[in-house]
Structure 1
Amino acid sequence: MSPITIFVCLAIGIANIVFGILPATRSTPPAQTIKAPLSNATPTVILPVAPYHPRPVMLGSASEYVPPDFTRDGDIQAKKQAFYAYLLPRIDQTNQEITRERQWLLNLQARLAQGTSLNDADQIASLNPTSTDAEAAAIHNEASAIHNEAAAIHNEAAALRRLGRRYNMAAVGDAPGALEDYVEKLLLRVDVVPASLVIAQAAKESGWGSSRFAREGNNFFGIWCFNRGCGMTPANRDAGRHHEVAMFNTVTEGVRYYVRTINSHNAYDKLRQIRAAARNNNQPFGGEQLATGLLRYSERGLLYVNEIQSMIRYNRLQRFTREYSA
């Protein structure tokens, strides 16, 4: 090889190292678009939620923004770090959406306690067609993103009904105090689920992301469905059983469904009571504490609960606990 050829090769190599020409540099993903939680209105654009812990971990060609291949052989700790980095932003996004819903309910509860009826607020907003956007915003001055939306559509009651249906609540009654009682019960359901619990169950149910249902159906939580063709048929399903394992379009959709199940299914009422008691006493709550309310998540009952709690402790998953403002 001539000296000129050697020089050119060295120059290209140095340029690649210094300027990052090869391989292609990894860039921040574009902003995500999600629908507002209470309507089919114009989607709200939010910035990507970066993992707050741990630092991004590469596994093959994957990063925190691309699903890693969790089935690859390799260092188990690297796999776990990649698992955390991939799921945590989706968990945080889901909890932030719930926090906005909860803040709207808390604001409504405070107004009702002051004697302001829901109908009065609706009449002011909806029966006065000359009211301006600024006046509507002033009426709902405590509005969060969801409350602003309710003001915009001039129907707070409809927003409350939609939220109730989302969390599997029966319709509000007409008796005196029924609305206040309804909001109080709904607040038991509209609350965050600690990341430590979500991570532990996702890891347990999906084999740290390696299961067929996680890889092919974005289902990290072993969630079942019961209509023919609704999901994937388990290979070892017992004779006489007809359940399938649900499929989701995205992992975020699967996380949302799991959290909503925890927050709305009657089987997890105990978990919600534990969380509410901590709220009432101004105490923090974590995944290990709430896991005691998962006795009916698995047919294995208490053994399953103990395994989830052990996973939280062994992997120090409480470090992912994050406080939210509502």
Structure 2
Amino acid sequence: MDIREFLKIERFFGGFHKYTFAIVLSPIIIFALIVISQYSSNPAAPSVIKPLPQNPVTVFPDFTKIVNVDDKKRQFLDYMQGFLDAENQEIMILRSRLLEIRENIERGTPSIKETAEVANLSETYRIDHEGMTIAAMIDELLLRVDLIPVSMALAQAANESAWGTSRFTIEGNNVFGQWCYEEGCGIVPSRRISGATHEVRYFDTVEKSVESYFLNINTHDSYAYLRDLRFKMRARGLKLDPMSLSIGLGRYSQRGAGYVDEIQRIIIQNDLRERDVPPNQA
């Protein structure tokens, strides 16, 4: 073969290989460029902590992993609101039943079942009902079996749990800083003063922590003023105002009035009143 013909063939196949290589490589380059452009135009979103797929929730999420403070607060509020809304719904079911029984009593003698329901609920809500009529028990229960504004409860949860980052919340599902006084009932505070016996109560689930908080506010003598304010708002057909009701939390903490100021400040700074139910549902 003539050397000139050989060189022509070599140049042909050499060009062919280069062309083939370009065809194979081009889609890879294009795909890589698309991925890079999407990543640069859509920076990574902050990590989102969702309620764990457990029912009930026995492990509290670790909000310490969220670096951005605003993201941490928003996700904590969103997370806790579901539990608070659920508890308020349960309370409203009980309240509706009490109102139904009261109407039945006004029409005649209460049934044995209705009497037992009211008596059992009086026990749950820590009413000394010995010698009380069923009507009197219902009146007292309606002071206690009632909503707690989500905004106020969220503010307390944020304050007591350091926005879900406290050791007592992560290890013991204790969102509201509740104490107990039996040895082994909770977690011993590292800074507990000498001679003190209290522990920060341990809860099996987040739901139990929320339920205990509601029962505490709705039954303890320390919050009788709060319940009285709530009753008066009801009587006037007003929406439950968290700023006014929070005045009744002075005995929730040793900080007294300072604690009330903290709760009100959290409500205002985080626009928590927007999370309360509409007036027609209160």
Give the alignment's TM-score, normalised by structure 1: 0.69
Among residues 196, 213, 228, which one is paired with 2:151 in the alignment?
196
Question: 1:180/1:73 Cα in 2 relative to 1: closer, same or farther (>3 Å)?
Answer: closer
Amino acid at match of 2:131: G
Mapped pair 1:102 → 2:102: no
Mapped pair 1:263 → 2:221: no
Greater relative contact order (CA < 8 Å, ≥ 6 in sequence): 2
Alignment check: 8 A CA contact 2:247 2:260 kept: yes
Tell me the residue number matched to 2:117. Answer: 159
Alignment check: 8 A CA contact 2:91 2:145 kept: yes
Tell me the residue number matched to 1:173. Answer: 131
Whole-Å separation in 2 of the counterparts to 1:232 and 1:172? 36
Tell me the residue number matched to 2:14. Answer: none
Whole-Å separation in 2 of the counterparts to 1:112 and 1:73? 54
Question: 1:320/1:73 Cα in 2 relative to 1: closer, same or farther (>3 Å)?
Answer: closer
Q: Cα RMSD between the aligned structures?
A: 2.6
Among residues 186, 190, 193, which one is paired with 1:235 in the alignment?
190
Mapped pair 1:307 → 2:265: no
Alignment check: 8 A CA contact 2:101 2:114 kept: no
Whole-Å separation in 2 of the counterparts to 1:229 and 1:197? 30
Question: 1:12/1:169 Cα in 2 relative to 1: closer, same or farther (>3 Å)?
Answer: farther
Alignment check: 8 A CA contact 1:173 1:179 kept: no
Q: Residue 231 of structure 2: SS of its match in structure 1?
A: helix
Among residues 194, 200, 205, which one is paired with 1:245 in the alignment?
200
Whole-Å separation in 2 of the counterparts to 1:201 and 1:171? 31
Superposition deviation, residue 256 in structure 1 = 1.0
Superposition deviation, residue 72 in structure 1 = 2.6
Q: Residue 240 of structure 1: SS of its match in structure 2?
A: coil
Question: 1:5/1:249 Cα in 2 relative to 1: closer, same or farther (>3 Å)?
Answer: farther
- Which of the two has higher C-alpha Rg? 2
Alignment of 1:199-238 (within 5 A): 199-238=154-193
Tell me the residue number matched to 2:74. Answer: 81
Aligned residue pairs total 246
Deviations 1:23-44 (A, max 9, x none): xxxxxxxxxxxxxxxxxxxxxx
Mapped pair 1:63 → 2:34: no
Give the alignment's TM-score, normalised by structure 2: 0.80
Amino acid at match of 1:292: I
Alignment check: 8 A CA contact 1:232 1:246 kept: yes
Runs of 5+ unmatched residues, structure 1: 15-57, 123-154
Among residues 90, 104, 109, which one is paired with 1:117 in the alignment?
109
Deviations 1:251-278 (A, max 9, x none): 1211111011000111100000000000
Q: Residue 249 of structure 1: SS of its match in structure 2?
A: coil
Amino acid at match of 2:97: W
Which has the larger helix fraction? 2
Alignment of 1:32-43 (within 5 A): none
Amino acid at match of 1:278: M
Runs of 5+ unmatched residues, structure 2: 1-20, 35-44, 54-59
